Structure formats: C-alpha cells, structure tokens
A = this chain, B = another copy of it.
Amino acid sequence: MFALDPAFAATSEPLVSLELCEARLQNDVRFPWIVLIPRIPGAVEVEDLDAAQRARLLEEVVATGRAVRAIGAAVGRPVTKLNVGQRGNVTRQLHVHVVGRRNDDPCWPGPVWGQGVAKRYAPETLALARDAALRALTKD
C-alpha cells in the first residue's frame, strides 16, 4: 500500500491527487516549486514504474510546469525557465521536483536543491500560490 514519506510533510503542502501522483506545493517562496510523488508503493527510481506509468508521469510533469508558471504569474514573478529533477538521495521514495526559475532568483543559474534555506510563504501568498496551481492542475 502506498504511504507518503513523512519527510514531504515537513517541506510541502498538499495540492491535489493527480491520476498517478500526489502533487504538493513546496513551502518555499524563493521559487514556484511543486513536487510530484507517484502513488506506487516501493518505487525509488523511474525504472520502477512501468512504461504506461512513466508516460503518465511525464504528462503530469508537463501539467505541473504549467502550474509552476501559474504560481509565478500569481505572485508577480513570472517564470522564465523550468527545471525538473529526480534525485531521492535523502528521501528515497520516488519524487520529481518541478521548479520555476528566473535569472534573478537566489540560486540562478545553479540548481535549487540543497542551496540556501527555504523561506516559508506568508499565509496570504501561500493561498494565492495554491489557488493558481490548483486552477492550472485541474483544468484538463
């Protein structure tokens, strides 16, 4: 049975259950950032999904890219580049990061992972980001 690794609760907020993945908003106002966790028990690597699940995963990555752009627009910092990453070196449960980048963000052009300290959203900005992401993710 699938159970979300508790590590995700410390850093992110639930957004929506997609067909394959749990989509969660990373609570870090530095970047519009959504994490996708496929609900496949025991999956650690992309190869642990079957071909149909893998194709679905990439479709959800693309939809999540739209959601990340929507967050950037909603908070007045439009995204100019998407970054997608799957590591799992610390939290092994398979998950994919979709991050919206700008050339004036604090980590540009380097990766965001393990850089600096997350800055949590103020409640009203979090609501704005959540709403924008949900509208984008539930559109189709």
Residues in chain A within 8 A of chain B (CB atoms): 45-47, 51, 54-55, 57-59, 61-62, 65-66, 81-90, 101, 103, 108-111, 113-114
**Dominant secondary structure at the A interface:** mixed
Query: Which chain B residues border A81 with CB–CB below 8 Å?
Result: 45, 87-89
Set of chain B residues within 8 Å of A101, measured between Cβ atoms: 87, 89
Closest 7 CB pairs of A and B: A89-B109, A55-B55, A110-B114, A85-B85, A84-B86, A54-B58, A83-B87
Contact of A110 among B51, B62, B113 (CB under 8 A): B113
Residues of B within 8 A of A110 (CB): 89, 113-114
**A112, closest chain B residue (CB):** B111
Nearest CB of B to A36, in Å:
13
Which B-chain residue is minimally distant from A88 (CB atoms)?
B81
